[in-house]
């Protein structure tokens, strides 16, 4: 049984190991020399459009010159943003109110539009879906030397090539990339897997964490921490030395998520860490800042105007939801319906804590490879404490599933969502809980086209009727891990057929799908995106796992 004393001891362990993470690169990492690589100059959050050309960004966003707010912050200044802002202020003083046409002319004179992704390939009409995915990789791959947008762009330059999701997403995203890598591995493109893991390591070394994506406006928040699974995927191919190579970055990733753990008491939170009344330490999404996301500036200003809450509080919860990757979902909303009630920072998500369990297990393995049994044992103990806490705190006994926990109110949220599969995917669950969760997935989430994200239809993209590639893959992996082979194959087969049906109709693979009435998905802040990195990766992996099901 885990006691309060165990968690107090864990606090000391975290403090010691976090310090080791900060110091890593000295005596603690003997033999961990990094191979030389190209080191692009690092951009900073101060170069985000809301800071470097804020008055212009605000005016353009609020005037809605572009239907997608991301188009605004992906504009590329043609000259020093400070000079552009100075000219803009003079124009405003001279003309007073600036009309849309005049504002558009100013933008056209001072900014280049963001480069667009390819949307169509020149392929034969009968090109198989597997061949289509392989053909897409070059179109979605970016060579930093060839795609540098200059010093004033919001794009963060990376040392090595990488794959983008597609459509409006013309940069490398954090959790998307793991699922893209699954397909690259199936395509025997371990060169790109290697390059992308190296890029994520560079981001951790440069910024102390992996940002949401490689844009300056993402440099204040992360995304679901999939760096450890990326390292494990590469190690399966290249060998255990991969763990030793990326041990410094794995430590820094852990430090980022656990920072502040030794500074809080029961019922308190600091950044991503929360301590419950009994001393249990768990994690939440935080998002760092309390003003509108630049890429959704106008929408969030308008939402705040409709809300009776303090605007900074609302913005903080919205940013935390963006950090979760589930932006947006009824999971985060107090009334289960409206963004004005969002409370992401008050929620401990089961999926995040399962990922951090996996990170701690990966660190234990990395330290064993490094030859430090004491450090390996300490991380194993951390992982075991977290496993015990997940199975105790997040388990909905009456319903038989894992859900989220409202730490301020001290209760489960009862949200029925696909996040329940994470403890199965990463081996957190015991057999009884895995069996009950499988029954709940079949009863509550299984649909004609795969697994639905939640049971609620709210118009948000991370709710019904949408299904998403990463969640299908995690469900299949988790159910298969616990012996629920039939349900795993059913989800895989239905998801594959949904992808195939849309491909037959449109020639595209898209970001999300309606799995209730199988079709292209909808909802959310922007039009559905094709490309699409993680859909391609998951589909190719599932086709290889279930070749018979794939061709029914």
pLDDT of residue 31: 41
pLDDT of residue 385: 98
- Contacts of residue 393, Cβ cutoff 8 Å, sequence gap at least 6: 276, 280, 282, 348, 405
* Number of other residues whose CB lies within 10 A of the CB of residue 1: 5
pLDDT of residue 529: 85
φ and ψ at 294, to 5 degrees?
A: -55, -35
CA torsion sign for 309, 313, 217, 356 is negative
Residue 12: pLDDT over 90 = no
The tens digit of pLDDT for each residue in 265-275 reads 999 999 999 99
Calculate mean pLDDT across residues 322-344: 98
pLDDT of residue 550: 65
HEC string for 183-214: HHHHCCCHHHHHHHHHHHHHHHHHHCCCCCEC
- Residue 169 preceded by cis peptide, ω within 30: no
CA torsion sign for 516, 521, 526, 527 is negative
Alpha helices (runs of H) in 111-246, residue ranges in sequence order:
129-140, 144-147, 174-186, 190-207, 227-238, 241-245
Structural tokens at position 375: 């450090």
Provide the whole-model pTM: 0.94
Residues 537, 184 contacting (CB under 8 angstroms): yes
Tokens 């540098």 belong to residue: 148
Residue 123: pLDDT over 90 = no
CA 108 – CA 92 distance, rounded (Å)? 17
pLDDT of residue 28: 40
- Contacts of residue 285, Cβ cutoff 8 Å, sequence gap at least 6: 272, 320, 321, 323, 324, 344, 345, 349, 352
Tokens 């963006």 belong to residue: 322
Torsion of CA 517, 521, 522, 527, to 10 degrees: -150
pLDDT of residue 502: 97
**Catalytic: which of 253, 271, 404, 511?**
511
The helix (run of H) or strand (run of E) holding residue 110 is: helix 100-110
Give strand pairing partners of 466. Answer: 514
- Of residues 97 and 172, the one with the higher pLDDT is 172
pLDDT of residue 551: 67
Calculate mean pLDDT across residues 314-322: 98
Q: What region, left, alpha or beta, does residue 316 occupy, with left being phi > 0 and alpha being psi -120 to 50 degrees?
A: alpha
Calculate mean pLDDT across residues 5-14: 46
* Number of other residues whose CB lies within 10 A of the CB of residue 441: 24
Residue 22: pLDDT over 60 = no
Residues 356, 386 contacting (CB under 8 angstroms): yes
Closest CA to 161 of 130, 140, 182, 133: 140
CA 356 – CA 335 distance, rounded (Å)? 28
pLDDT of residue 496: 98
**Catalytic: which of 327, 360, 480, 514?**
327
Q: Of the ranges 85-99, 112-126, 147-161, which one carries the lowest mean pLDDT score?
A: 112-126
Residue 543: pLDDT over 70 = yes
Residue 453: pLDDT over 50 = yes
pLDDT of residue 369: 98
- Contacts of residue 167, Cβ cutoff 8 Å, sequence gap at least 6: 117, 119, 511, 529, 530, 531, 532
Structural tokens at position 48: 């985000």
* Number of other residues whose CB lies within 10 A of the CB of residue 79: 12
Calculate mean pLDDT across residues 45-58: 98
pLDDT of residue 25: 39
Confidence band for 455, pLDDT divided at 50, 70 and 90 = very high
Per DSSP bridges, beta strands 76-77 and 141-142 are unpaired
pLDDT of residue 120: 63
Residues 534, 176 contacting (CB under 8 angstroms): yes
* 541 a catalytic residue: no
Calculate mean pLDDT across residues 388-403: 98
Closest CA to 218 of 229, 205, 203: 203
Residue 312: pLDDT over 50 = yes
CA torsion sign for 190, 138, 140, 520 is negative
pLDDT of residue 547: 94
Alpha carbons within 13 angstroms on the beta-carbon side of residue 300 total 26
Calculate mean pLDDT across residues 301-322: 98
pLDDT of residue 147: 85
Calculate mean pLDDT across residues 244-263: 98
Alpha carbons within 13 angstroms on the beta-carbon side of residue 236 total 12
Alpha carbons within 13 angstroms on the beta-carbon side of residue 451 total 29
* Number of other residues whose CB lies within 10 A of the CB of residue 123: 13
pLDDT of residue 173: 98
Percent share of the chain, pLDDT over 70:
92
Alpha carbons within 13 angstroms on the beta-carbon side of residue 191 total 6
CA 302 – CA 282 distance, rounded (Å)? 33
Confidence band for 32, pLDDT divided at 50, 70 and 90 = very low
Average pLDDT, the chain: 93
Count the helices and strands in the chain (H runs, E runs).
23, 17
Residue 78: pLDDT over 60 = yes
Residues 214, 315 contacting (CB under 8 angstroms): no
Calculate mean pLDDT across residues 70-81: 98
CA 119 – CA 115 distance, rounded (Å)? 12
The tens digit of pLDDT for each residue in 193-228 reads 999 999 999 999 999 999 999 999 999 999 999 999
CA 523 – CA 510 distance, rounded (Å)? 13
Confidence band for 1, pLDDT divided at 50, 70 and 90 = very low
Residues 290, 314 contacting (CB under 8 angstroms): no
Query: What's the N-to-C CA distance of the chain in angstroms?
Result: 49
Ordered DSSP codes for 512-526: EEETTTTEE---SSS
The helix (run of H) or strand (run of E) holding residue 87 is: helix 81-95
Closest CA to 493 of 534, 437, 450: 450
Three-state SS at 463: coil
* 511 a catalytic residue: yes
pLDDT of residue 527: 83
CA 230 – CA 247 distance, rounded (Å)? 13
Q: Of the ranges 139-148, 177-186, 506-515, which one carries the lowest mean pLDDT score?
A: 139-148
């Amino acid at each position: 049984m885990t006691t309060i004393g165990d968690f107090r001891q864990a606090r000391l362990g975290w403090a010691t190991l976090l310090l080791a993470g900060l110091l890593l690169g000295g005596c603690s990492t003997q033999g961990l020399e990094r191979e030389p690589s190209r080191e692009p100059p690092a951009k900073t959050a101060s170069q985000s459009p809301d800071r470097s050309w804020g008055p212009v960004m605000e005016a353009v966003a609020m005037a809605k010159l572009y239907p997608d707010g991301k188009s605004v912050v992906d504009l590329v200044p043609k000259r020093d943003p400070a000079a552009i802002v100075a000219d803009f202020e003079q124009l405003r003083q001279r003309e007073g109110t600036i009309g849309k046409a005049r504002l558009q002319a100013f933008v056209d004179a001072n900014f280049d539009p963001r480069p667009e992704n390819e949307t169509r390939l020149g392929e034969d009409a009968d090109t198989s879906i597997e061949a289509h995915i392989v053909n897409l990789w070059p179109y979605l791959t970016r060579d930093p030397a060839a795609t540098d947008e200059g010093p004033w762009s919001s794009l963060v330059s990376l040392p090595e090539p990488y794959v983008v999701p597609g459509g409006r997403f013309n940069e490398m995203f954090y959790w998307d990339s793991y699922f893209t890598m699954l397909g690259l591995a199936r395509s025997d493109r371990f060169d790109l897997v290697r390059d992308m893991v190296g890029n994520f390591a560079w981001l951790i070394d440069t910024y102390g964490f992996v940002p949401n994506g490689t844009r300056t406006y993402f440099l204040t928040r992360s995304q679901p921490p999939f760096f450890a699974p990326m390292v494990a995927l590469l190690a399966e191919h290249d060998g255990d030395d991969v763990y030793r190579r990326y041990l410094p970055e794995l430590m820094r990733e852990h430090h980022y998520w656990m920072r502040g753990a030794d500074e809080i008491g029961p019922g308190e939170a600091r950044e991503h860490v929360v301590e419950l009344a009994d001393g249990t330490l768990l994690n939440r999404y935080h998002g760092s800042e309390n003003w509108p996301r630049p890429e959704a500036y106008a929408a969030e200003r308008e939402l705040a105007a409709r809300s009776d809450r303090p605007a900074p509080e609302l913005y903080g919860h919205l940013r935390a939801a963006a950090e979760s990757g589930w932006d947006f979902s009824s999971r985060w909303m107090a009334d289960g319906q409206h963004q004005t009630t969002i409370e992401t920072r008050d929620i401990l998500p089961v999926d995040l804590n399962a990922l951090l369990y996996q990170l701690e297990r990966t660190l234990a393995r990395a330290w064993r490879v490094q030859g430090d049994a004491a450090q390996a044992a300490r991380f194993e103990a951390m992982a075991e404490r977290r496993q015990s806490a997940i199975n105790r705190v997040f388990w909905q006994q009456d319903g038989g599933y894992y859900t989220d926990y409202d730490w301020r109110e001290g209760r489960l949220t009862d949200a029925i969502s696909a996040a329940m599969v994470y403890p199965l995917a990463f081996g957190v669950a015991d057999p009884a809980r895995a069996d009950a969760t499988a029954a709940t997935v079949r009863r509550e989430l299984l649909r004609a086209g795969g697994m639905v994200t939640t049971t609620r239809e709210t118009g948000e993209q991370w709710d019904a009727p949408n299904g998403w590639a990463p969640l299908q893959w995690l469900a299949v992996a988790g159910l298969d891990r616990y012996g629920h082979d039939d349900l795993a194959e059913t989800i895989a087969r239905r998801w594959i057929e949904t992808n195939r049906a849309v491909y037959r109709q449109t020639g595209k693979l898209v970001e999300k799908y309606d799995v209730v009435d199988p079709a292209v998905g909808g909802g959310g802040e922007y039009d559905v995106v094709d490309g699409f990195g993680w859909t391609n990766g998951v589909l190719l992996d599932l086709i290889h796992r279930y070749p018979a099901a794939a061709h029914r």
